[in-house]
């Protein structure tokens, strides 16, 4: 599949999507988000893929929505064409695990895209921020909702009201980032983590993702109920039988994703 703004690669069961508009630090426009959505849904449908990585360059994951393009938008246009909602959130339809591998800037829509992924792995040079306020807009791709859920109200307010950047260390201690790696090793390390995840029984990994995501959408008792039903459903899979038999028989499991 030929894309203009992203690169895609599949290595074993791991698919990697690289945002590729280096001249504008991977600023996000409709074309890129359309292509990203198409690639993500394609890999989600591909039985040979078990985990997806989204990454950028060493300098920028994405420096935000394309400001030059956005500067000319009118209220009528953004409302009529449902800017953001129309095509920026395809990633939410993906049921397989998606990891953001973030080096350099993840600002505005770039930070929001990273937060739409299931987890963020950061290079030690990563910088996160929601600087929209300085442009006369508020975060529009989930920043005011996902950031406080990740780092708490105080830090979310601090970041979104001042527009300051947060480095990888601060982001990890605040809970936004799962792990930090030296920039030069980021992709190698994240690919190894993705391979590890892709080798897990796929249906179970999908259920883990679905259940953790439910924690952000519901009450504790409803969330626990949802978890319990999926937990029960695991006992209907061949991979539960195989995983537990392999443990008991002290041999490696051979999962069939069934
Ligand atoms: C369009 C961008 C861009 C962006 C960088 N560029 N960010 N173009 N949209 N978001 C372009 C620059 O204009 C420049 O083009 C080239 O990329 C390199 O950027 P420099 O600024 O020269 O690099 P540097 O000095 O290293 O500074 C890096 C930076 C800065 C700190 C990341 O570029 C910056 O502040 N960018 C904007 C960050 C931002 O405000 N993001 C939020 C956008 S609003 P030329 O042609 O000069 O070489 C947003 C809304 C989200 O995201 C809501 C909906 C998704």
DSSP string, 227-247: HHHHHHHHTTSHHHHHHHHHH
Round to whole Å and give the CA distance between 246 and 239: 10
| Rounded Cα gap, residues 140 and 81, in angstroms | 14
**For residue range 106-124, what is the model confidence (pLDDT) as tens digits?**
999 999 999 999 999 999 9
Distance between CA atoms of 124 and 85, rounded to whole angstroms?
31
pLDDT of 70: 94
Q: Which of 104, 109, 142, 143 is catalytic?
A: 109
Q: Is 31 a catalytic residue?
A: no
Of 108, 119, 2, the residue nearest 54 (C-alpha): 119
pLDDT in tens, 199-223: 999 999 999 999 999 999 999 999 9
Ligand 1 closest atom vs CA 110 = 52
71 lines ligand 1 (CB under 6 A): no
**Tokens, residue 163:** 């527009």
208 lines ligand 1 (CB under 6 A): no
């Amino acid at each position: 599949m030929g894309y203009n703004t992203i690169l895609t690669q599949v290595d074993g069961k791991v698919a990697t999507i690289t945002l590729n508009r280096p001249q504008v630090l991977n600023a996000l426009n409709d074309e890129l988000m359309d292509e990203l959505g198409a690639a993500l849904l394609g890999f989600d449908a591909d039985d040979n893929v078990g985990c997806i990585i989204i990454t950028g360059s060493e300098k920028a994951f994405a420096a935000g929505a394309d400001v030059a393009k956005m500067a000319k938008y009118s209220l009528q246009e953004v409302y009529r064409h449902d800017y953001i909602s129309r095509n920026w959130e395809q990633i939410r339809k993906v049921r397989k695990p998606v990891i953001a591998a973030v080096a350099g800037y993840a600002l505005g829509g770039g930070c929001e895209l990273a937060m739409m992924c299931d987890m963020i792995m950061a290079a030690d040079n990563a910088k996160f921020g929601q600087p929209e306020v300085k442009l006369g807009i508020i975060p529009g791709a989930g920043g005011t909702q996902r950031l406080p859920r990740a780092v708490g109200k105080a830090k979310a307010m601090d970041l979104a009201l001042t527009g300051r950047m947060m480095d990888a260390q601060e982001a990890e201690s605040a809970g936004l980032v799962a792990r930090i790696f030296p920039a030069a090793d980021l992709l190698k390390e994240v690919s190894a983590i993705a391979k590890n995840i892709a080798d897990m029984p796929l249906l179970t990994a999908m259920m883990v993702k679905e259940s953790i995501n439910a924690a952000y959408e519901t009450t504790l008792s409803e969330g626990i109920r949802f978890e319990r039903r999926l937990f029960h459903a695991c006992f209907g899979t061949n991979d539960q039988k195989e995983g537990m038999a392999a443990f008991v028989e002290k041999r490696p499991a051979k999962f069939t994703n069934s």
